Amino acid sequence: MKLTGKKALITGGNSGIGLATARLFVAEGAEVAITGRDQKTLDEAVAELVPNTRGYRADVTVADDHVDGNNQIVQGDRS
């Protein structure tokens, strides 16, 4: 496993290319944090990728989401 012991943050990890990337990273042993705008698809992605994945609802185009998301990730909280 090439990524064992590594950690990754993938924006848009709840669908499309981001989700495909998260799947690959998890398969290679990484711990992954994903963000997404839609809570439902985010929850579905995390359920698929457990146990090495955490999900954070955030929209990278919204400044307040940057601060809230960064604080959650640093503190290890999941919303």
At 78, the pLDDT band (50, 70, 90 cuts) reads: low
Give the pLDDT confidence of 43-70 residue by residue, as tens digits.
999 999 988 899 998 887 777 765 555 5
Q: What is the pLDDT of residue 58?
A: 84
pTM: 0.79
**Cα angle value 68/70/71 (rounded, 5°):** 65
Largest CA distance in the chain: 36
Q: What is the pLDDT of residue 1?
A: 81
d(CA 15, CA 64): 22
d(CA 15, CA 71): 23
At 75, the pLDDT band (50, 70, 90 cuts) reads: low
Q: What is the pLDDT of residue 62?
A: 77
Residue 8 burial (CB count, 10 A)? 18
